[in-house]
Each structure stands twice: as structure tokens, then as C-alpha cells.
Structure 1
């Protein structure tokens, strides 16, 4: 299986992100959305999970995959192409930058924070932007 994680990388907010101050993702009809689950997992456990861990765990929670089946389901999940955190609404819509450390573990930083600015100016990191929401 191909490693889909980023290492020593900072994902800046998308060019067309509409917020200047990071916002907390909201539930929809009382249910936790993908951005809410990603936000909670990353902020409650900074630098504990990789991008792959976050993407699969959110998928597993939303699809009620039992814990004992997760290893097999994870292999199936990554056997076909999956979007990365560059496509997450955290960076596209809500104003959160995503830092991947040397082990590929992730944490998020508000666009208005000093830490965010520090990551943007860190020449030792690879810099990419979250995907744009529009096609322009």
C-alpha cells in the first residue's frame, strides 16, 4: 500500500477561503459532519495521528465500521484513491492550516495565529495550499 501521508509539510488555507479568522465546523441537523469529526480528532490529539489515520477514522465513524473490522476495512479503503487533507473543509472553508511533522503526524492552526504565520515562513517545510472551492 502506498504511503499517502505528508511529511514536514504545511497546508495553508485555500486561496479562496472566505474567512480571515478560523471558525469551528458546525454540526448539521445534530449530526457531526466530516469537518467536525476531523477537527475534533486533530485538536483533541495534536500530532498523534497521520493524515491516513484521520481520513480512515472519519470514514469508519461515519460508516459505523466495528473496531474489530477496521484493519481489513482500512486496507480496502486505501486500495483505491482517497482525497487528502488538502481537500478538507478545514482549510478550504473554515480557515485552519494543517501542519504535518517529520513523522507525518498532524495538528491544525488558525489562520490568524502566530503559529500559522511561523509555519508559512518556515523554509524547512514543504508548502502547499488547500484545494480551492471554486474552479476559477
Structure 2
């Protein structure tokens, strides 16, 4: 009888191990399915949000496009050509004396901010320093 009890105990232990392994694999399958379901719910929520935001972007773009068409319809470009006849010459062949040339040079220098100071031909006075007083 001891062989039967040992055999029965061994069979019981084997059944318990197989049941444990089966329970573990069942739990892993259920856990993986739950994880996949949670991931799918999160992906579906993200897709719904993305579709909602894309709809807002599309509506805004369409509103902007219709406003641009309206603006362009109100704007008219007018091309007008006219003929202009110049009756007086732009350049004249007139001689200017030395004083006139000097005045023209000073006017050009003043306009260009060059050589501002005393008129040509005059020497500036030496500045007094506090040491010379």
C-alpha cells in the first residue's frame, strides 16, 4: 500500500503543478488581452482627438480661404498708362563761374554730410585749450 500512496501523492503533485502552470498561462493571456484593450482604448481616444482637431483646422482653413476670395474680389488692379512729354531740357550746356562751382560743391557736401566746416580757402582758427589761458 505504500506504493499506491506514494504513486497517488506523486500524481497529485503533478496535477497541482500542471494546474498551476495552466493557471499562470491563463492569467498571462488575460493580462495581455487587458493590456491590448487598454492600449486600443487609448489609441481610439487619441485618434478621436486628432480627428476633432483636424476638423477644426480644416474649418479654419476653409473660412480663411473664403475670406481671401472675398478680399480678392473687392480688390481691383487698375493699370493706367499715360504719356508724358517733357518740354524743357533736363540738362543745359551753361558755364558756371568759379563762385558758382564753389557754391555747388558746398551744397553737395552739405547734402552728403562731407567736409562740413569752414568754406574752402579759409583756415580754421586754432582752438584755445585751458592750458594756454
Query: Which structure carries more strand by proportion?
Result: 1
Structure number, greater radius of gyration: 2
TM range (shorter): under 0.3
Query: Which structure carries more helix by proportion?
Result: 2
Higher relative contact order (CA 8 A, sep 6+): 1
